[in-house]
Amino acid sequence: MNPHPSSELFLNRELGLLAFNRRVLQMAEDENTPLLERLRYLCIVSSNLDEFFEIRVAGLKQQISQGIAVSGPDGLSPSEVFQKVCIEAHDLIEHQYDLLNHAVLPRMAEEGICFHRRGNWTEAQRVWARDYFFREIMPVLTPIGLDTAHPFPRILNKSLNFAVELSGKDAFGRNSDNAVVQAPRTLPRFIRLPPAIAGCPYGFIFLSSILHANVGELFQGMEVQGCYQFRVTRNSELFLEEEEAKNLRLLLQGELSHRQYGDEVRLEVAENCSETMAKFLLDTFGLEEEDLYRVNGPVNLVRLMQVADMVDRPDLRFPRFTQSIPREFEKQSDLFAAIRKKDVLLHHPFQSFAPVVEFVRNAASDPLVQAIKQTVYRAGTDSELIEALIDAARQGKEVTVVVELLARFDEEANINWAAKLEEAGAHVVYGVFGYKTHAKMCMVIRRESGVLRRYVHLGTGNYHSGTTKLYTDFGLFTADRDITADVNEIFLQITGLGKHAGLKRLFQSPFTLHSELVNAISREIAHARAGRPARIIAKMNALTEPTIIEALYAAGQAGVRIDLIVRGVCLLRPGVPGLSRHIRVFSIIGRFLEHHRVFYFRNDGADDVFISSADWMERNFFRRIEACVPILDPGIKRRVMAEGLRPYLRDNVQSWEMNGHGEYRRRSARRGQRFSVHDFLLERFAQPPQ
């Protein structure tokens, strides 16, 4: 029994998420980060915070309204967490905009990339902006004066809107004080000026600036006292009842439309918004003062991400590179022959995702292939891989696709793919209600010399060609009979009905993954107590599951050396005397998004290595279908250690070390000993741009 109370064992999840965004923000603050990438990191923080409010803060507000006493293993009540979150979020956002206005935008202006503010327009820019307003903006706007006949309009989640204070009477003699102007999502949030009047190589004007300068044209004969941007963030969690889910796709399509109008959780307004208008908006949306976020700039920075792609300045971005192809596939044009010969590991983004697409494409045209089975969690709106599955179905292959319709914020894209796959003749299933299918599996079944043989690809990341250029992930091709039989069994569980059958090699959520990891930790404890070297290294996106954390504490106390590389939230407190002195926690934030899950247990020299789709979170262990794959090939095992774990512990450039209070300190390199894991892996695999 652990003598420490709950509050000493576990940190808070919401505060951990905000701490992660602090680290991302430091990448924008770092002058060694290329300038356009600094802007991109600022935008990433905004995108992350949007989801944080839509899901985590919305959840806290629901718990508070329901009178729930404790929100998580840290022992804090939802009200206590919410108050801490408000303080931290306000400070974080203030720092973000300060960084934008006083560091990033001035440096961009020095490089000839300028955002011209309304007060600094030249006469030519003012005339051009006015003409643009009448030509492109005004025709699509619908200003709404607020009175008894015109109630406050429905405001879409995260949409750009303008609150206008007015005085005077209109043509009908009405005397309305307030109006709302909604900016259609089809309008660009910033517009590039013609070179002749830009005054710099890349000159931009915010849509909000053009509208502010000309808003009086929408209210002829009245005087505009103030015009203020505002944006509302809403609860975006979907609520589906199993007894109503006769057709999950139809039910979800109906529910998605409600996401735009969920309960309000945050109000963002321009910094100069009057107190009167801010109070009016808060009252309208049923929010409190603590829910109000005043920002010195655009209320939505996410759209600025496009600037980095529009500006042709490679010197202000991370250097380009070409992803390499594994030697096994370069030597052998027949992918199936290469996989039959030996397991093949892909390490994204340093190695290309193309072999995975070719795996399915070849299967589609191969007369020996009988069937293809695939899971899809996130694939994006443009997917070569799913197009290959569609082609396979059209060519008469038996194609089964498990489409996870409830992949958050990818629901619509997945619904569309499901419909297209069905039209092509594929069997489409939506997994098991109540358990998201998060495992990344693709299986091809061929008839070779009269015998059926299975080939599989198992990954730590999504089948999304876009993210494989940005996220670090492992993918394993294998024809191992035990592993492929296990994958086949998991597909049978998902698509059919029946009891869980024991697997030979894979650990699977929601059945065995949690218990097997606890057993692996317990074995290290036994080795340590017997005087044998004991070691655990694990890399993941999040560590929040209490039983695993308590097992790690016990292992550390028994003398097991433990290093955890956790990109995001970690509820475990490392380095606490008497609790976790032998445990270290690191977070890597750099050019690429750390995404692979890799687990190592020394196991008395057996060196057990696994890759997995699952983080160490309650949802991954108990509410998702996940796969954890042992690495059997000795050479690949050495590669996973040499690429996915050991160099991450050496990083002293983009690595943050966490203390027992949940605070992160960026590691620093001694003179001449700088080591960046991303640079190391790029040098090892990537090729110069073609």
At 529, which amino acid appears? R
Protein fold of 6-316:
polyphosphate kinase like (3.30.1840)
> Are 269 and 297 spatial neighbours (Cβ–Cβ below 8 Å)?
no
For 375-408, the pLDDT digits (tens) are 999 988 889 999 999 999 999 999 999 999 877 7
Q: Is the pLDDT of residue 499 over 50?
A: yes
Cα dihedral 488→489→494→499 (10° resolution): 170
Q: Is the pLDDT of residue 257 over 90?
A: no
Other CB atoms within 10 Å distance of the CB of residue 326: 17
Instruction: Map residue 371 onto helix, strand or coil.
Output: strand
Q: Is the pLDDT of residue 244 over 50?
A: no
Q: Do domains 6-316 and 508-685 have the same CATH topology?
A: no
Q: Is the pLDDT of residue 58 over 60?
A: yes
Residue 250: pLDDT band (50, 70, 90) is low
pLDDT attached to residue 344: 97
Summarize the confidence of residues 182-191 as an average pLDDT: 92
Q: Where are the domains of the chain?
A: 6-316, 327-505, 508-685
For 414-425, the pLDDT digits (tens) are 889 999 999 999
Which residue has tokens 């007894």? 243
pLDDT attached to residue 501: 76
Q: Is the pLDDT of residue 77 over 50?
A: yes
Q: Is the pLDDT of residue 412 over 90?
A: no
Q: Is the pLDDT of residue 284 over 80?
A: yes
Active site residue 102: no
Average pLDDT of every residue of the chain: 92
Residue 252: pLDDT band (50, 70, 90) is low
| Its pTM surpasses 0.85 | yes
Sequence-separated contacts (24+) of 58-67 with Cβ below 8 Å: 58/234, 58/235, 58/236, 58/237, 58/262, 58/263, 58/265, 59/237, 60/14, 60/85, 61/235, 61/263, 61/265, 62/235
Summarize the confidence of residues 301-319 as an average pLDDT: 93
* C-alpha distance from residue 221 to each of 166, 224, 529 (Å): 10, 10, 85
CATH of 508-685, one of 3.30.870.10, 3.90.950.10, 2.40.160.40, 3.40.50.880: 3.30.870.10
pLDDT attached to residue 2: 61
The CATH architecture annotation of domain 327-505 reads 2-Layer Sandwich (3.30)
pLDDT attached to residue 251: 54
Residue 146: pLDDT band (50, 70, 90) is confident
pLDDT attached to residue 1: 46
Residue 173: pLDDT band (50, 70, 90) is low
Q: Is the pLDDT of residue 690 over 80?
A: no
Q: Which of 438, 457, 514, 595 is catalytic?
A: 438
Summarize the confidence of residues 599-614 as an average pLDDT: 98
At 428, which amino acid appears? V
Residue 32: pLDDT band (50, 70, 90) is very high
For 444-457, the pLDDT digits (tens) are 999 999 999 999 99
Q: Is the pLDDT of residue 6 over 80?
A: no
pLDDT attached to residue 243: 45
